[in-house]
């Protein structure tokens, strides 16, 4: 709480300065804000020093350190080692090792060691000096979100893959920050142009590369995936994956109502998997105390299991709200229960959504009573909306043919 109060004063001061010099300080404020969502505020002064030192040093070092290889150097990043960036990174390493030198920029130690485990090239974003030659000679940055502008100069080409396509309102992209913005389908490309005046020549219909991974998982042995995820008991899996600003539960006293959900799953021999957004605001100690009582409840946040696609592949019923996770889950053809709360806020006040709110196919609950009725329906009758989901999947994700990563590769070749 003390950190939040101090930040308010910092941001108020920054806003005053922005009034005088808007562009520079607005950009700085945004970077600090996002850093504090990902990292411990206590480390901020030290890391700002390291980044500042790198920024100055790289200007000097770039005159002397050159890429002696004939391969293009490509950096990849995401909040964790997962998603679209991971899919393309592993694809290029597997199929084009003689053409590209790929490395991962880890924004936390979990990601750093995940890449190390597979013997991949990786640099910790807040200690760049260990990878100076690669960083200075990078040709491309491929990202799910951040452009890491403090690491790379303006000559590095940037490809934005993004990390979700859903019904939650979002601010307009700043398309000037990238050379290419990948979208999932012709429909979503048109949404970008119509809603946010996106330059069509920067939009490329590739599909989400992570859908290639989900497609492969759905063809794998469910038993093997169970083993990889560490499930010790058997049963149908209910995945609870709300967006970050819902909190723990949308109706009633959130911790009590969440525990009622745990009890419901236990009584019905269901495995409950929790997958919270990395930026969710909950009391993690209280949640831990609750789930300790139930052997059928697993908490698999990204810090423990980064691969969301693996979890989706074994999930029998998805419970979510305005999170974009459901559009990926359409590929499974399995039931979805939506918790509808604050529709006007999430689909209008926050901004325009990439996907309209009525592009949700499944059981929609507006209260606790409706939620449990919906759960009984999907458990006893299965997916009543499968046909609608198949149609929406084609509109939102286009053709999920397993070749999205290859299409991103063609963009790289085009921009070289």
Each residue's pLDDT, cut to its tens digit, for the chain (416 residues) gives: 445 444 444 444 444 344 334 444 555 665 666 566 666 777 778 877 888 888 888 878 877 788 778 899 999 999 999 999 999 999 999 999 999 999 999 999 999 999 999 999 999 998 999 899 999 999 999 999 999 888 888 889 999 999 999 999 988 889 999 999 999 999 999 999 999 999 999 999 999 999 999 999 999 999 999 999 999 878 999 999 999 888 899 999 999 999 999 999 999 999 999 999 888 889 999 999 999 999 999 999 998 999 999 999 999 999 999 999 999 999 999 999 999 999 998 888 888 999 999 999 999 999 999 999 999 999 999 999 999 999 999 999 999 999 999 999 999 999 98
Spatial distance between the Cα atoms of 373 and 382, rounded to a whole number of angstroms: 13
Residues 197 and 219 in one domain: no
Residue 66 lies in a domain: no
Angle at 188 between CA 185 and CA 192, to 5 degrees: 135
Residues 120 and 230 in one domain: no
Residue 241 lies in a domain: yes
Residues 84 and 27 in one domain: no
Residues 200 and 223 in one domain: no
- Residue whose token pair is 């004063």: 9
> Torsions phi, psi of 139, nearest 5?
-95, -35
User: Could you report how far apart the first and last alpha carbons of the chain are, in Å?
Assistant: 47
Spatial distance between the Cα atoms of 229 and 304, rounded to a whole number of angstroms: 10
Sheet architecture: strand order including 140-143: 122-124, 100-106, 72-78, 140-143, 157-160, 180-183, 203-205
Q: Which one of 61, 82, 109 terminates a domain? A: 61
Say what the pLDDT of residue 315 is: 98
Residue 196 lies in a domain: yes
Q: How far is CA 289 from CA 86, 242, 293, in A?
A: 33, 20, 7
How many domains are contained in the chain? 3
- The count of C-alpha atoms lying within 13 angstroms of the C-alpha of 401, restricted to the half-sphere facing its C-beta, is 8
Residues 224 and 301 in one domain: yes
Say what the pLDDT of residue 210 is: 98
Say what the pLDDT of residue 21 is: 43
Spatial distance between the Cα atoms of 222 and 109, rounded to a whole number of angstroms: 30
Task: Tell me the CATH number at 288.
Answer: 3.40.50.12580
Residues 148 and 112 in one domain: yes
273 Cβ contact partners less than 8 Å away, ≥ 6 residues apart = 237, 238, 239, 240, 297, 298, 299, 300, 311, 315
Answer whether 102's CB lies under 8 Å from 91's CB: no
Q: Which one of 13, 33, 61 terminates a domain? A: 61
Say what the pLDDT of residue 22 is: 45
The residue range of the domain holding 90 is 72-209+401-415
396 Cβ contact partners less than 8 Å away, ≥ 6 residues apart = 165, 184, 185, 187, 188, 327, 330, 355, 359
Residue 159 lies in a domain: yes
Residue 330 lies in a domain: yes
Say what the pLDDT of residue 270 is: 98
Supply the angle between the helices 386-397 and 186-196 in degrees, to the nearest 10. 60
Residue 14 lies in a domain: yes
């Amino acid at each position: 709480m003390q950190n939040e109060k101090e930040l308010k004063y910092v941001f108020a001061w920054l806003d005053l300065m922005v009034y005088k010099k808007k562009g520079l300080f607005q950009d700085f404020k945004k970077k600090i804000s996002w850093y504090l969502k990902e990292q411990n505020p206590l480390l901020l002064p030290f890391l700002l020093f390291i980044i500042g030192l790198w920024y100055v040093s790289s200007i000097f070092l770039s005159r002397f350190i050159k890429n002696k290889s004939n391969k293009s150097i490509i950096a990849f990043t995401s909040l964790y080692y997962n998603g679209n960036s991971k899919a393309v990174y592993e694809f290029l390493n597997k199929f084009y090792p003689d053409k590209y030198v790929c490395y991962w920029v880890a924004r936390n130690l979990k990601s750093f060691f995940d890449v190390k485990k597979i013997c991949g090239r990786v640099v910790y974003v807040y200690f760049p000096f260990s990878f100076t030659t690669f960083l200075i000679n990078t040709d491309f940055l491929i990202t799910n979100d951040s452009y890491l502008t403090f690491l790379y100069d303006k000559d590095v080409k940037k490809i934005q893959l993004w990390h979700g396509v859903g019904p939650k309102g979002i601010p307009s992209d700043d398309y000037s920050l990238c050379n290419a913005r990948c979208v999932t389908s012709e429909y979503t490309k048109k949404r970008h142009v119509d809603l946010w005046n996106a330059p069509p020549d920067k939009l490329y219909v590739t599909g989400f590369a992570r859908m290639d991974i989900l497609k492969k998982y759905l063809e794998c042995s469910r038993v093997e995936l169970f083993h990889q995820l560490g499930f010790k008991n058997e049963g149908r899996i209910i995945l609870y994956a709300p967006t970050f600003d819902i909190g723990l539960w949308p109706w009633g006293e959130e911790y009590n109502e969440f525990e009622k959900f745990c009890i419901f799953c236990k009584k019905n021999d269901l495995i409950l998997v929790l997958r919270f957004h990395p930026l969710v605001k909950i009391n993690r100690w209280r949640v831990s105390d609750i789930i300790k009582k139930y052997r059928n409840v697993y908490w698999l946040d990204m810090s423990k299991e980064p691969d969301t696609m693996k979890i989706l592949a074994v999930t029998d019923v998805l419970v979510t709200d305005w999170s974009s996770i459901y559009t990926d889950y359409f590929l499974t053809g399995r039931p979805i229960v939506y918790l509808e709360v604050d529709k006007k806020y999430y689909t209008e006040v926050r901004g325009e959504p990439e996907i309209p709110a009525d592009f949700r196919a499944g059981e929609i609950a507006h209260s606790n009573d409706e939620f449990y009725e919906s759960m009984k329906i999907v458990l006893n009758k299965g997916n009543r909306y499968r046909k609608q989901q198949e149609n929406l999947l084609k509109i939102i994700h286009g053709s999920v043919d397993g070749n999205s990563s290859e299409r991103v590769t063609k963009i790289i070749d085009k921009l070289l």
